[in-house]
Amino acid sequence: MSGATPTPRWALILPLVGGLCLAVGFVLPLSAPFVTFMAAVLIGAVIAAVHHAEVIAERVGEPFGTLVLALAVTVIEASLIVSLTLTGGPQAEPLARDTLYSAIMIVCNGVVGLCLLVGGIRHGEQQFRIESASASLGVLIALATLTLVIPVYTTSSPGPTFSVPQLLFAGVASLVLYGTFVFVQTVKHREYFLPPGPTSATAGHARPSVGTALASAALLLVCLVAVVGLAKLLSPGIEAAVLASGAPEATVGIAIACLVLLPEALAAVRAAYANRLQSSLNLALGSALASIGLTIPAVVAVATLTGMPLTLGLGAKDTVLLGLTFVVSTLTFFTGRTTVLQGAVHLVIFATFLFLALVP
């Protein structure tokens, strides 16, 4: 379409800078100033990746748009987890668990709470489709319980872990559940995930052209490669910074989840502010589903091939917080209408999660 908005210059430059920085990082020694610059470039590459995913999303429309964003974020998250786990030694065994648990708490309490609060303050009461929220939450509860709670109660291997057959089963089950959800979201019951009413998510601006979408797809690929490579180079520094600060090792997982989810969280909040709560929830819950549904199979595959041990089961405190999150989320999404009250409740639970992570 001729009126399409041109691609911002920063969205063209950041992927190229990320690729160049990655190439230099594999050749030159990592001094402190260069590591700081690489960290800034990594964040810029994440933001650029989500921007280009949004361009593709606007071209293909809902609910495919939120699916593209979720997949882009999950590729980044899985790459960070695998890179840090492979290079982190024994202390990195619970990293996948900590990151996935953090992603659920950040999305279901932090992102959703902020969206409901911002949207409620600006628009009062907001509406969404119950069918989409219940479907997303049902699959998320099943995935989280299967991968983060059940390992505590199995007896085939010591500790909160899965044996190899159990690990393979969890990976396949996660992939099947997520694949079924995507089929329902995009084919069988696509209407459940469309905004209620006649409004359009792309109203007010032109749809990107095919050429623009293809260019964004190529730049998105460059961004993802840069993020994966830079994360691998920076992984020792992330763990060292956490240990030097005296914070619990679980905060590494929180840092990774916050880094990866920040751009998508901003997109969800913008949608809620514009009174598009359905798109906001599609973004938030879709990213949480993709995080578990795709990251667990990826981590399982790497662990099986390399013999890398994984600690998946949550402790008692985290299990209680996870259960509280799902109970409150069920009540929040029960009526199809939300106000600032639900947002405040979720944000208090999120604050509790952060406080107890730092002061266990």
Distance CA(205)–CA(3), nearest Å, equals 8
Q: Where are the domains of the chain?
A: 9-358
Residue 98 tokens read as: 């900590």
Burial of 245 (0-12, 13-18, 19+ CB in 10 A): exposed
Cβ within 8 Å of residue 84, ≥6 positions away:
92, 95, 231, 235, 238, 239, 252, 256
Indicate if the pLDDT at residue 46 is higher than 60: yes
Omega before residue 33 within 30° of 0, cis: no
For the chain, the farthest-separated pair of C-alpha atoms sits apart, in whole angstroms, at: 62
Distance CA(209)–CA(213), nearest Å, equals 6
pLDDT band at residue 201, thresholds of 50, 70 and 90?
very low
Confidence (pLDDT) at 203: 44
Residue 90 tokens read as: 């024994």
Are 21 and 226 in contact by the 8 Å Cβ rule? The answer is yes
pLDDT band at residue 88, thresholds of 50, 70 and 90?
low
pLDDT digits (tens, 9 = 90+) for 239-295: 677 777 777 877 877 877 787 777 778 778 888 998 889 888 888 888 888 888 888
Indicate if the pLDDT at residue 204 is higher than 70: no
Confidence (pLDDT) at 65: 67
Indicate if the pLDDT at residue 159 is higher than 60: yes
Give me the helices (H) in 307-339, please: 316-332
Among 38-42, 140-144, 233-237, 311-315, the minimum mean pLDDT is found in 233-237
Domain 9-358, CATH: 1.20.1420.30
- 348 to 70, 109, 176, 260, 342: CA distances (angstroms): 25, 8, 33, 22, 10
pLDDT digits (tens, 9 = 90+) for 53-83: 778 877 777 667 667 767 777 777 777 777 7
